[in-house]
Structure 1
Amino acid sequence: MLGSLGAIYVVGLAFQTSTYISYYCEEDCTLRQWTDPHYVSTRDIVTYLREHVIEPRQEVVAQPPSLHELEDPTWRRMGAWNRLQDAVLNLCREMRNGVFVEVGAGGGLFLSLTAWLESQRAWTGLLLEPHPEAFTALRRTRKAAAAQVCVSDMNHCKQELLWTPHAQLDMPPLYNEAARAKSALLQYVAEEDQDAGTLTPVQCFTLQTLVWAALGRRARVDLMVIHTMGGEYKILNTLEEMDLTILVLVVKISTEVEKKFAQETAQALGFVPYDNVPPEVNDFLFFINERVDLVKGTTE
């Protein structure tokens, strides 16, 4: 047993260079805490994220979205997105200067559940997106702090491969953006589909550590959206010992099994289901913090 533990990827003591993180925690960092007295602390990771990974809020963006793009985009009736957006705004529309965290932010506008709040209600927060092209687009249109990272579905940092469907050069840009939005960690892609996409190495950090680095250790998040095309309920599970307060939680699910696990995890975290959503929105779960009065925005 000790021999196998000792074989875990060796992490250097220095935490200074930007190349270091490429090798950090390719294996289980939790096990390293048992075997290595020089294990890099969460505080060290937070410092690294602040200095090298998280891009701060922008006062001005290159391509600010118009109100028409936010309220009547070309994808408004794609699936049930319009009903999903309406459900989010029913909860958050009257809140000004709120704080969001969107895991799987894509290009910043396409199918976003936070862009309207940022533009029309002066919300800010953190946008997390691992795809390089999507992240570049996001920084052109969104002001909020952002990081080009994957969010780990485990309680440790790791490296993964991000799968993206092949682009079709002869198709409209919206088609390719929709295809890019289906990017997922390779482990969540059906084996028969894996050859139909490209792979990009990505670095994954835990959600709580990313929020701590960007917003503070005991941050209040008014809206958290987790939409990663796989593993959402596992990401939710990493918040088991969270120091932050989340008022509204929206989680993407794909199967009844995922739904069950997400509901159980959310309940353990102190959330209760919010069922006042249209029946078409059946692949997202809504929760509210049982200790928070949404009208007053205060914690009991």
Structure 2
Amino acid sequence: MYTYGVEICWRRKLRYPIMRPDDARLVRYLRRMIEAPPMGGDGTLHPQHPPWHNVTSYNATEKAIRDIFAATEGGVFVEVGAQDGVWLSNTWWLEAARGWRGLLVEADPLNYHHLRNSPRTSPTLPVCVTTGLTPTQEALVRRKQPEPWNTTIGMHQRGQTMLNRYATPTDLYLGQTWHTTCYPLLTVLAAAGYKQINLLIFDMAGGGFELLQDFMTVNMELGNPFRVQMILYQDTSLVNEKVISEEAKSLGYTHLAITAAHFLLLHNSLGVALQ
């Protein structure tokens, strides 16, 4: 039986077709959004004394990264949740001391403004990254910014932008909410032009595990177009680490808990033992 509603639905699908994550139009669109390296300030990075040297959890994660990639020069990274590219950035040392380059992705316009004024030497991309195969409209929540913003507390607050679905009632009440388009992770990687990635990072206030699981699953189903040596993700939600470890092992990775919120997946090809 033919109905007018079915016709409208069908026309809408024709007008707004569902795109694959490797759709050439979408990849070109994101590629045009990638900006040249900021190289602000004096244009130099100082790996000996990063801004987070007194933050215990990040010191532990940073030590793990340095142990693993101590002898690897000229590697490639993609950091989703780069914040300002300086504070709590897990790719700072790799870029400063080992000559790595990659893509710094940040969804919060305020953080991205600071990123564009940083001394980083890698391209930047101002978009929200999400799971799935199609772009979506999402609500993001930014924690209220304390004054002065350049204190330790203020810098932590600036790193607490999150998708609405991970926000607490307090976050929603005290924070600022806005809507933006979020793009599939695989589309972002395709736009960057990276097929071999040494380090992939999901560093966000909520959703790190979901992005990890989605990437591992979808990438495998598509025939592993992106080969990643190591994945670092942050997640404070309760997860079944045993199940994750078994799933990672089936895909050729070893799952390690560095801190209560920071986790590493090391591909077996690395052959590196942490000290």
Give the TM interval when normalised to the shorter protein: 0.7 to 0.9
Moved more, 41-50 or 263-272: 263-272
Residues 79-133 of structure 1: per-residue CA shift (max 9 Å, x gap): 4111111111111121000001111110001011101111111100111110112
Identify if the C-alpha distance between structure 1 residues 8 and 190 changes in structure 2 by more than 3 Å, giving closer, same or farther. farther
1:49-128 matches, within 5 Å, as 49-51=30-32, 53-57=33-37, 60-67=39-46, 70-128=47-105
Query: In structure 1, what residue type is equivalent to 2:28?
Result: T
Shift of residue 72, structure 1, vs aligned partner: 2.4
Identify if the C-alpha distance between structure 1 residues 41 and 250 changes in structure 2 by more than 3 Å, giving closer, same or farther. closer
Identify if the C-alpha distance between structure 1 residues 197 and 222 changes in structure 2 by more than 3 Å, giving closer, same or farther. same
Q: For structure 2, which runs of at least 5 residues remain unmatched after alignment?
A: 220-224
1:200-219 matches, within 5 Å, as 200-216=178-194, 219=195
Q: In the alignment, does 2:203 pair up with 1:222?
A: no
Structure 1 CA distance, aligned partners of 2:167 and 2:7?
29
CA contact (8 A) 2:198 2:230 kept: yes
Instruction: Give the counterpart of 2:168 among 190, 210, 221.
Output: 190
Counterpart position of 1:272: 254
SS in 2 for 1:241: helix
Residues 44-92 of structure 1: per-residue CA shift (max 9 Å, x gap): 11011112x211345x43443442xx33244322241111111111111
Counterpart position of 2:231: 249
Instruction: Give the counterpart of 2:266 among 283, 288, 294.
Output: 288
TM-score (norm 2): 0.83
CA contact (8 A) 2:51 2:86 kept: no
CA contact (8 A) 1:153 1:232 kept: no
Shift of residue 227, structure 1, vs aligned partner: 1.2
Q: In the alignment, does 2:31 pair up with 1:47?
A: no
Instruction: Give the counterpart of 1:158 among 116, 136, 139.
Output: 136
CA contact (8 A) 1:233 1:262 kept: no
CA contact (8 A) 2:21 2:184 kept: no
CA contact (8 A) 1:63 1:140 kept: no
Query: In structure 1, what residue type is equivalent to 2:48?
Result: E
Identify if the C-alpha distance between structure 1 residues 171 and 254 changes in structure 2 by more than 3 Å, giving closer, same or farther. closer
Identify if the C-alpha distance between structure 1 residues 172 and 54 changes in structure 2 by more than 3 Å, giving closer, same or farther. closer
CA contact (8 A) 1:97 1:124 kept: yes
Query: In structure 1, what residue type is equivalent to 2:25?
Result: D
Counterpart position of 1:21: none
CA contact (8 A) 1:155 1:238 kept: no
Instruction: Give the counterpart of 1:234 among 210, 213, 218.
Output: 210
Identify if the C-alpha distance between structure 1 residues 41 and 274 changes in structure 2 by more than 3 Å, giving closer, same or farther. closer
Identify if the C-alpha distance between structure 1 residues 89 and 5 changes in structure 2 by more than 3 Å, giving closer, same or farther. farther
Identity across the alignment (%): 24
CA contact (8 A) 1:233 1:261 kept: no
CA contact (8 A) 2:21 2:134 kept: no
CA contact (8 A) 2:146 2:157 kept: no
- Equivalenced residues, count: 262
Structure 2 CA distance, aligned partners of 1:213 and 1:284?
27
Identify if the C-alpha distance between structure 1 residues 47 and 84 changes in structure 2 by more than 3 Å, giving closer, same or farther. same
SS in 1 for 2:191: helix
- What is the RMSD computed on CA atoms of the aligned residues? 3.0
SS in 2 for 1:82: helix
Identify if the C-alpha distance between structure 1 residues 198 and 238 changes in structure 2 by more than 3 Å, giving closer, same or farther. same
Structure 1 CA distance, aligned partners of 2:91 and 2:149?
27
